[in-house]
Amino acid sequence: MIKAAVLGATGYAGEELVRLLTNHSETSIELLVSRSFTGKKISEVYPSLSRVLDKECEELDIDKAAKCDVAFTALPHGASKTVIPSLIEKGLKVIDLSGDYRYDDVETYEEWYGEKHSSPELLKESVYGLPELHREKIKNARLIGNPGCYTTCSILGAAPLLACGIAETKNIIVDAKSGVTGAGRGLALQTSFCECTETAKAYKVTNHRHTSEIEQELSNIAGEKIMISFTPHLIPQKRGILSTIYINLKRESDASELTHIYRDFYKDEYFVRVKDTDSLPETKHVAGSNFVDIGVCYDKRLQRAVVVSALDNIVKGAAGQAVQNMNIMFGLDEKTALSGAGFYL
């Protein structure tokens, strides 16, 4: 059994990790770390876990964590930076759900996060944990920068067109809509029920940090520097990201050819489901599951592809992807604990 520690177990990504790991046949949850709920059972914080996992949350003790094989760090931005080097030193594999270890170069990180990176050498070693693009590197990694929800949805939605060379690299627009779990469990007026039900809004227009992650990966695929418009929106639902992606094409095409390009690109990927040409994804089709659904349309008038991709932001966009990375790192079937259908209802 793989011994797992979850740091930041009582946030939403943490809770979802715990939920997934309790169904994982090859893993035992050895340690739950939560600063806010030290001494409380996880099942007191999330009564849905009662009788399934009544384990107590603890303060972080590196020596205790050292007995584990893998640590999932779902800590607030900044907190992970001090903890992770210690865990790596103790020999754990670490899957970090923050933005700290997702960049190829330290400059991009520092430009978008507005601060120095505290462990640039670890950043260099870390692997961007998007299995559909970096599976081989993930296999041998000690430290994974687990991609976020917007980025996974947007990168996987755009990648095939850039990879095959049909896409213009200018004028790429990613208009993304997110459920409210993406904002985490911290209290804020804008995520209180009466403030965010029955309303929609855009936020951080032109300057959301995830822009840089998407650009990094798409640039790598295209072999040239790509800059995109990325606009996140908050919509009144709990789970789900829907990305609508606009990409001009270099030549005429049609829906059938574009769908074929996607099916071919993802032909070995269990978790990416490319829709038939006449249908489109919805976030409820992926809620609670690790799937990404992608539909592709062609606008003949404008010689433009309109791609719609959907995933569950706290599964494939956080906890599920983290488990998928763990499965790869430990040589397990990648689908372990992740193969099931989500909850349509």
Within residues 315-344, the interface with a copy of itself by CB under 8 A covers 339-344
283 touching a copy of itself, by CB under 8 A = yes
Least Å from the CB of residue 244 to a copy of itself:
6
> Which of 3, 26, 53, 219: binder of a copy of itself (CB under 8 A)?
53
Q: Which stretch binds a copy of itself (CB under 8 A): 71-79, 110-118, 138-146, 239-247?
A: 239-247
> Which of 114, 165, 268, 345: binder of a copy of itself (CB under 8 A)?
345
Q: In this structure, how many other beta carbons lie within 10 angstroms of the beta carbon of residue 332? A: 18
Least Å from the CB of residue 261 to a copy of itself:
17
> Which of 206, 251, 267, 331: binder of a copy of itself (CB under 8 A)?
206
Nearer to a copy of itself, 61 or 257 (CB): 257
Element holding 110 (H helix, E strand): helix 106-113
Q: Which of residues 105-134 bind a copy of itself (CB under 8 A)?
A: none
1 touching a copy of itself, by CB under 8 A = no
Name the 3-class secondary structure at 103. Answer: coil
Is residue 28 within 8 A of residue 53, CB to CB? The reply is no
Task: Determine whether 194 is an active site residue.
Answer: no
> Which of 26, 86, 249, 270: binder of a copy of itself (CB under 8 A)?
270
Least Å from the CB of residue 87 to a copy of itself:
27
CA distance 197 to 215: 31
Number of residues located near a copy of itself, criterion CB under 8 A = 87
25 touching a copy of itself, by CB under 8 A = no
152 touching a copy of itself, by CB under 8 A = no
> Which of 227, 249, 263, 277: binder of a copy of itself (CB under 8 A)?
227
Residue holding tokens 């340690």?
Answer: 31
**Contacts by residues 112-120 (CB-CB < 8 Å, ≥ 24 positions apart):** 112/209, 112/211, 112/212, 113/77, 113/209, 117/81, 118/81, 118/82, 119/81, 119/84, 119/85
Least Å from the CB of residue 250 to a copy of itself:
15
Q: Which residues of 120-141 are buried (b: 16+ CB within 10 A; e: fewer)?
A: eebbeebbbbbbbbbbeebeeb
Q: Which of residues 54-83 bind a copy of itself (CB under 8 A)?
A: none
282 touching a copy of itself, by CB under 8 A = yes
Interacting residues of 324 by C-beta distance below 8 A, sequence separation 6+: 131, 271, 290, 334, 338
201 touching a copy of itself, by CB under 8 A = yes
| Number of Cα atoms under 13 Å in the Cβ half of residue 240 | 20
Q: Which residues of 246-285 are buried (b: 16+ CB within 10 A; e: fewer)?
A: bbbbeeebebeebbbbbbebbeeeebbbbbebeebbebbb
Annotated catalytic residue within 57, 149, 153, 196: 149
192 touching a copy of itself, by CB under 8 A = yes
The residues that are catalytic are 149
